[in-house]
Amino acid sequence: MENKEIQIGKYKIKVLREACISAASCVAVSPSVFKLDDKSKAVVIEEGTDEAENILMAAQSCPTKAIVVTDTETGKQVWPD
Ligand code: SF4
């Protein structure tokens, strides 16, 4: 499966599947945006919503920095920085 980028609020979010080790801390922090798929890799829930701050916190909680967050307002990657 390719690393699909999904926009939620002002952020575009992408999970680097090859880097995901299924720690699920992203799911614990933002269960409305992240879930594990049948391969125990994190995926972004397309219809998910959450505060931008919390989405960023979920990405920052990932031990392997497998979650890439881009701010669509600035066009800048905000995590990993
Ligand atoms: S926190 Fe990182 S390693 Fe853990 S499930 Fe989420 S993306 Fe994968």
Give pTM, 2 decimals. 0.95
- Helical residues (DSSP H) of the chain, grouped into ranges: 25-29, 52-60
CATH class of 5-79: alpha beta
Predicted confidence (pLDDT) per residue in 42-62, tens digit? 999 999 999 999 999 999 999
pLDDT recorded at residue 33: 98
Tell how far the Cα of 37 is from the centroid of ligand 1, in angstroms. 11
Pocket test for ligand 1, best of 67, 68, 69, 79 (most atoms within 8 A of CB): 67
Residue 63 — pLDDT band, cuts 50, 70, 90? very high
List the residue whose alpha carbon is closest to atom 2 of ligand 1. Answer: 62
Question: Where in the chain are the domains?
Answer: 5-79
What is the spatial distance between Cα 58 and Cα 38, in angstroms, rounded to a whole number? 20
Tokens 């499966």 — which residue? Answer: 1
Phi and psi at residue 41, in whole multiples of 5°?
-105, 145
pLDDT recorded at residue 3: 82
Predicted confidence (pLDDT) per residue in 1-31, tens digit? 568 899 999 999 999 999 999 999 999 999 9
